[in-house]
């Protein structure tokens, strides 16, 4: 009881001094992970419906912050069940062998007020690539919200094999947009 009171007082003191330290969990029902691919020149949009993860964020020392996000690849959502089943199969995400994608940050750098560059390792289909993601962080009441967009090379992760590997059929560049909501 005494330790939790001291911890609460310390957090209040840091808040009053302008430091913002957050340890929070993803609220999956309020978060969105959207993507757009080009198939034969036409945009096709989809989403992943299930995310989980945590963030430890220190606004005064963002380099000491860390985020870990897990995406349930079987939660892929397209306009048709047939497309979803194809995307879950061997030629695309192969969710039977690789059920999740993970992002682990290794460096967070403040680029301007409430904007950051997050560098980390993205793992899809057991292939790891270091990527940088620009994000905007905002406090909305008791929530911390991360918004951003980046371009992913699907070929780098062997997403879309066989006839789907041809970038004239499905472009290599995938636009990924996210809105991730965290709560304490």
**Domain assignment present for 77:** yes
Work out how many domains the chain is built from and give that number.
Answer: 1
Contacts 24+ apart (CB under 8 A), 159-168: 159/92, 159/93, 159/124, 159/125, 160/91, 160/92, 161/90, 161/91, 161/92, 162/91, 164/91, 164/92, 168/40
pTM: 0.86
Query: Domain range for residue 59?
Result: 20-183
Q: Count CB atoms within 10 A of the CB of residue 180.
A: 23
**Domain assignment present for 5:** no
| pLDDT score of 90 | 96
**Domain assignment present for 156:** yes
Q: How many helices (H) and strands (E) does the chain have?
A: 2, 11
Task: For 120-146, write each residue's pLDDT tens digit.
Answer: 999 999 999 999 999 999 989 889 999
Angle at alpha carbon of residue 77, lines to 178 and 92, rounded to 5°: 95
Distance between CA atoms of residues 104 and 121, nearest Å: 5
Q: What H or E segment, with its residue span, contains residue 179?
A: strand 173-183
**Domain assignment present for 126:** yes
**Domain assignment present for 162:** yes
Residue 3 has pLDDT above 70, yes or no: no
**Domain assignment present for 129:** yes
**Domain assignment present for 109:** yes
Distance between CA atoms of residues 124 and 175, nearest Å: 16
State the CATH number of the domain containing residue 86.
2.40.128.110
Per DSSP, helices labelled H in the chain are 2-16, 81-88
The pLDDT of 5-26, averaged and rounded, is: 56
**Domain assignment present for 49:** yes
Task: For 49-104, write each residue's pLDDT tens digit.
Answer: 999 999 999 988 999 999 999 999 999 999 899 999 999 999 999 999 999 999 99
| pLDDT score of 184 | 73
Distance between CA atoms of residues 29 and 49, nearest Å: 8
List C-alpha distances in Å: 116 to 25, 56, 60, 61: 19, 14, 12, 12
The residue assigned the tokens 């220190």 is: 58
| pLDDT score of 22 | 85
């Amino acid at each position: 009881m005494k330790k939790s009171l001291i911890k609460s007082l310390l957090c209040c003191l840091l808040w009053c001094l302008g430091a913002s330290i957050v340890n929070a969990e993803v609220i999956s029902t309020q978060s969105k992970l959207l993507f757009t691919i080009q198939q034969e020149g036409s945009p096709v949009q989809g989403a992943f419906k299930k995310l989980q993860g945590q963030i430890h964020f220190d606004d005064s020392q963002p380099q000491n912050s860390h985020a870990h996000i897990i995406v349930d690849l079987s939660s892929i959502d397209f306009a048709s069940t047939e497309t979803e089943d194809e995307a879950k199969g061997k030629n695309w995400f192969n969710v039977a062998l690789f059920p999740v994608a993970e992002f682990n940050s290794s460096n967070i750098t403040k680029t301007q007020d409430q904007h950051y560059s997050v560098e980390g390792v993205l793992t899809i289909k057991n292939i790891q690539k270091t990527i940088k993601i620009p994000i905007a962080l905002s406090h909305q009441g008791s929530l911390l919200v991360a918004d951003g967009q980046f371009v992913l090379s699907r070929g780098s992760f062997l997403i879309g094999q066989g006839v789907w590997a041809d970038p004239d059929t499905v472009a290599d560049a995938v636009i990924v947009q996210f809105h991730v909501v965290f709560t304490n």
